[in-house]
Amino acid sequence: MKYNLIIADDHSMFLDGLLSIFNEHEKYTILFTAKNGENIIKYLDINPPKSVDLVISDLSMPSMDGITLNKLIKEKHPEVKTLIVSMHADVSKIGTLINDHVDGYIPKNAKKEELLTAIDTILNGSSFFSDTIKNIYQDFLFNSNKIKEKQVMLTPREKEVLKLIAKEHTSQEIADILMLSKYTIESYRKTLLGKLGVRNIAGLTRYAIESGLT
């Protein structure tokens, strides 16, 4: 069975490398190549989308990047599969692509065998993410869940104290603001260190920032 592919990448050397790989495999036909996502969308809008099996795209491109390209393909031509091949591994971009139903994501330094495995897996109806991409995103989800769990554990008063600590107020200043004793604030400080699993004020401040408390 033959498969029709489209490639979007603004790096000529990488694009030439991909073309040389596909030239070795008769089951792949390259229908079109472009240096930005805008031209890919124009091609799909003009030509019957059923004639395209997979779009392989870089992430950073002029005019229209890979994130926007993937989103538009899934909105306008959902039957077309998408694979991102990029040197970037930004967790927010990975998350956006996953939410927009990208079919796969591998780094540009992946071996030829992994690229071909990713393509075959996607064309057979499954998704494919390299171990590097999966690990980055799973670590992000794990840390996000830990933060959420910690947030649930904090009382409104503990959150107030934590916000003021993050703003570099001393225990006495916090006590004056909240109209509590300095001893009570010190007690809250020790409780927060224990609950959040951090060792010092820097750890408390970092948690407050990461969890959006300040």
pLDDT at 137 over 60: yes
Q: Read off the pLDDT band of 144 (50, 70, 90).
A: low
Phi first, then psi: give them for residue 104, nearest 5 degrees. -170, 160
pLDDT value at residue 212: 75
Domain boundary assignment for the chain:
3-136, 150-210
**Which CATH architecture best describes the domain 150-210?**
Orthogonal Bundle (1.10)
Measured CA to CA in angstroms, residue 200 lies from 80, 143, 165, 194, 209 at distances of: 51, 19, 11, 10, 15
What's residue 150's pLDDT? 58
> Where residue 139 falls among pLDDT bands split at 50, 70, 90?
confident
Tell me the C-alpha distance between 21 and 37, whole Å: 22
Same fold, 3-136 and 150-210: no
> Residue 171 above 60 pLDDT?
yes
Q: Please name which of 65, 7, 8 lies closest in space to residue 35, comparing C-alpha atoms.
A: 8
Question: Comparing 148 with 126, which gets the higher pLDDT?
Answer: 126
- Which phi and psi angles does 191 have, rounded to 5°? -65, -40
> Could you tell me the CA-to-CA distances from 106 to 6, 41, 130 in Å, in that order?
16, 22, 5
Q: Provide the Cα torsion 51, 54, 56, 61; round to 10°.
A: 60
State yes or no: pLDDT of 151 exceeds 70: no
pLDDT top residue among 119 and 207: 119
pTM reported for the whole predicted model: 0.67
> Once rounded to an integer, what is the mean pLDDT over residues 61-86?
94
Helix (H, G, I), strand (E, B) or coil at 143: helix
CATH class of segment(s) 3-136:
alpha beta
Q: Categorize the per-residue pLDDT at 149 as very low, low, confident or very high, splitting at 50, 70 and 90.
A: low
Which pLDDT score is estimated for 204?
87
Please give the DSSP secondary-structure letter assigned to residue 60.
S
Q: Tokens 């690229």 identify what position?
A: 115
State how far the Cα of 40 lies from the Cα of 71, in Å rounded to an integer. 12
Lookup: tokens for 104? 């796969």
- In degrees, rounded to 5, the angle at the alpha carbon of residue 35 between the alpha carbons of residues 33 and 37 is 90
Query: How many whole angstroms separate alpha carbon 194 and alpha carbon 178?
Result: 22
User: What are the φ and ψ backbone dihedral angles of 30, each rounded to 5 degrees?
Assistant: -90, 110
- Sequence-distant (6+) residues with CB within 8 A of 92 are none
Q: What is the pLDDT of residues 8-59, one digit of tens each?
A: 999 989 999 999 999 998 899 999 999 999 999 999 999 876 789 999 999 9
